[in-house]
Structure 1
């Protein structure tokens, strides 16, 4: 049960972090924001969490970059 709670806590932290990066994206270069999302994604993968791809998509959307 504790492991499940920890996974949800990490997921919530990841989404919060993604949205906070989105808030600062206007002052930051769009490419730098996206690069940071990929750094977080790689770290998430190396930690072995199953929700890394979802967090990556949320982080990139939060950057607010136009295609």
Structure 2
């Protein structure tokens, strides 16, 4: 009986540690700040078409109201 109790207690402790550690990782993943990620700037690329190569340039900026242009 004591052996079963020890096995169950050990399993319960392992389960509790797994739950606590997974909760920690979920919370830390949710805390990542994505407000600093921006697409503002100059974006350049090349488009290869038969016989030539086109250079495409996008200049993306943010207006004072937060919209992108």
TM-score (norm 1): 0.38
- Structure number with greater CO (CA < 8 Å, separation at least 6) is 1
Larger Rg: 2
Tell me which protein shows more strand as a share of its residues. 2
TM-score (norm 2): 0.37
